Amino acid sequence: MEFVDVLLIHPPYHRRAGSGIIPPIGLAYIASSLEIKGFSVAIIDCALDCGSQTPAGLQKFQQYLKEKLDTITPLKCIGVGPTTTPALKSIYVLAKTLKKQFPKTPIVYGGPFASMPSQTPIFFDLLEATALIRGEGEEVFSLLVEALHQGNIGEPIPGVSWHKDDMASVALVKDVNTIPFPARHLLDIHRYRPSLRRNVFDGPITPIYWSRGCPYHCNFCVSPMLRGNRITRRTQANLFAEMRECVQDFGITGFIFYDDCLFIKSINLNQKVQQFCLALREEVGLVKWEMEMRCDAVAALTAETLYVLSDSGCHQINMGIEKASNQHLKLLNKHLTIEEIVAACQKVRSTVPDIRIAGSFILGGPDETESDIEATIAFAKNLSLDFAHFYPLEVYPGTPFFAQVVNTSQQPTTWAYQMLEDEENYWGEILYETEELPGWRLLELTHRAYDEFYNRAEWLERFAATTSGEVYSTGKTVVERWCKDRFHLSFDEAESQLIV
């Protein structure tokens, strides 16, 4: 039996064929911040071994969790996160199992879902919460643990809610350079893998962040709910020191930058990108990396900058494209144009063809018709993308679209009770449904989009030319499954597809 002060648990989510398993770096940040204060910590990442929210999958998860909890005892509290709405079914099973196993141990939740004020009652009424942390928990969690240890439940702590009517302020770390690097030593780091569309690597990978926040306010995104349009960025020296630690201590040579926008369009964008890339190569060495970047910023890069990006080890740029018309981009509050999207894709493909480009597309939304979705699919096929991911518009509490979809006569938490009772929707998303495009039709059109994009000779040829033989063989099988059914896919089915 292992005894620790704090047990941190990453709940599983419903994975699909080709999905990755990414280290819960947020929890690892919390863990390192607790360790530096003298607390002992353990992490259970349930997503490594469980990945289905079908009734059978949830039963398997409950048994798995019980076996894990029989080997460890948390002395001060249990932390659960990051919480997201699609993982509600798993979080519910986790909450009930924890309460039965450790009836007197406080349970603390954090993450995007827990940070939405309107959703606070769900955690206290349904999920056995003792407290919630709204926002960033690195500085707050140790204060909370100490308060729990002293029996001071209810002690005012910035960012902490103690009951369902307690709308605490959002906790934000002012200087991210003061946070210790994530406690990757508490994770089974070599078991993680990127998703198929992100897999440009040939060794261990990790997510990493240079910045927090996003200056944009897209109507479908929860990011502005926490930081508004404020961005905080740590120094390059601090970032590169963490990357060197990853290489030297863990053998990690693949980095996925999950910043909302690693670089933002500005007058001196090209100078900033080149300086970063040259410093990365000099300070860290030869590594592979990829990033998220808006199309308007990519379109503003010069040929020289793109060459420097490629030389520094950048192997992929992921862009949120979303729509095929300026009208529908405006309805998303995307602040992007079709012209910028086309220019970005053409510039990368013609200048540095070795850098892969991936785009995401949202199907459905205000005033959208089937013909609009057909136009989006055709647009995606004409952009010379290496990967395209299509999603029905999924709405999250706290976003403008959530208010449009949820019945205003109901409580803003009613959806959670409905979701727990709905055994058919095991991927856990709330879809933006209209009379013309109900949920079932959005899913059919999503599968059609995958089929049309990936069942093309030119795509298969490009995939074969830019991918290792092993990844190509697995990927081709996964893509075949995508074309048949992207969403109604259990974890066990996905695994069987991967080993065919």
pLDDT tens for 296-352 read 999 999 999 999 999 999 999 999 999 999 999 999 999 999 999 999 999 999 999
User: Which residues form the domain of 272?
Assistant: 198-362
In the predicted model, is pLDDT for residue 369 greater than 50?
yes
Q: Is residue 295 part of a domain?
A: yes
Q: Is residue 386 part of a domain?
A: no
Domain boundary among 142, 161, 180: 161
pLDDT digits (tens, 9 = 90+) for 107-163: 999 999 888 888 999 999 999 999 999 999 999 999 999 998 888 988 999 999 999
Q: Is residue 136 part of a domain?
A: yes
Domain boundary among 362, 389, 409: 362
Domain boundary among 362, 384, 411: 362
Bridge partners of residue 74, in order along the sequence:
4
Q: How many angstroms separate the CA atoms of 24 and 184, rounded?
A: 9
pLDDT at 196: 82
pLDDT digits (tens, 9 = 90+) for 217-247: 888 888 877 777 788 999 999 999 999 999 9
As a whole-number percent, the residues of the chain with pLDDT over 90 amount to 68
Sign of the alpha-carbon dihedral angle for 390, 393, 396, 398: positive
Q: Are residues 105 and 246 in the same domain?
A: no
pLDDT at 488: 53
| Tokens 């697995």 belong to residue | 474
Q: Is residue 421 part of a domain?
A: no
Where is average pLDDT lowest: 100-109, 395-404, 466-475? Answer: 466-475
Mean pLDDT of 461-485: 76
pLDDT at 408: 59
Angstrom CA distances, 479 to 318, 385, 475, 485, 490, stand at: 18, 15, 6, 10, 15
Residues sharing a CB contact under 8 Å with residue 261, sequence separation 6 or more, in sequence order:
211, 214, 215, 216, 292, 293, 294, 297
**Cis amide leading into 82 (omega within 30):** yes
pLDDT at 491: 41
Find the CATH number of the domain harbouring 320: 3.20.20.70
Taking residue 265's Cβ as centre, other Cβ atoms within 10 Å add up to: 17
Full-model pTM: 0.93
Tell me the average pLDDT of the chain: 90
Bridge partners of residue 41, in order along the sequence:
6
pLDDT at 487: 62
pLDDT at 467: 75
pLDDT at 16: 75
Total domains in the fold of the chain: 2
SS3 content of the chain, % helix, strand, coil (to 5): 45, 15, 40
